[in-house]
Amino acid sequence: MDEFMEAAIQEAKQGREEGGIPIGSVLVKDGKILGRGHNKRVQDGDPVTHAEIDCLRNAGRVGSYRGTTLYSTLMPCYLCAGAVVQFGIKKVIVGESQTFPGAKEFMVSHGVEVIDLNLDDCEQMMSEFIETNPELWNEDIGN
């Protein structure tokens, strides 16, 4: 596993330790992390503070997103996929999509390369969270 996915997993673990949903993300350009974040919907009481959105906010204004890669421990939902498409991020590397299929087809249809690593660590972290927090998870995905 590369250092950037490991950083995203650390963000997810931090979110879980804070009592939130264990999803993490990092934005990378030229081998450097520009921003990192984790899902803070519970912590901030903000329905749109998903991991990818938190990561982009923390990266700040980067000018052009050309050449950036977004890492996420879970396949991005339509909200986060919309941000990827809006900002022209052309590559997304995902930890897993078994627990949530997300919006892969939407991103691909807009020219985004999506790589699903199907990592056991990411899938296990989400499966355990979903099993112990089904109401919170259903709220997060809009069910």
Given a cut of 50, the residues of the chain with pLDDT beneath it are none
- Counting the structural domains of the chain, the total is 1
Segments forming the whole domain that contains residue 26: 3-141
- pLDDT attached to residue 143: 76
The whole model's pTM is what? 0.95
CA distance 95 to 98: 10
- pLDDT attached to residue 1: 67
- pLDDT attached to residue 137: 86
In CATH, what number is assigned to the domain containing residue 56? 3.40.140.10
Catalytic center residues: 52
Residue 39's closest CA among 4, 80, 99, 96?
80
- pLDDT attached to residue 22: 97
Q: Residue 16 is encoded by which pair of tokens?
A: 């879980």
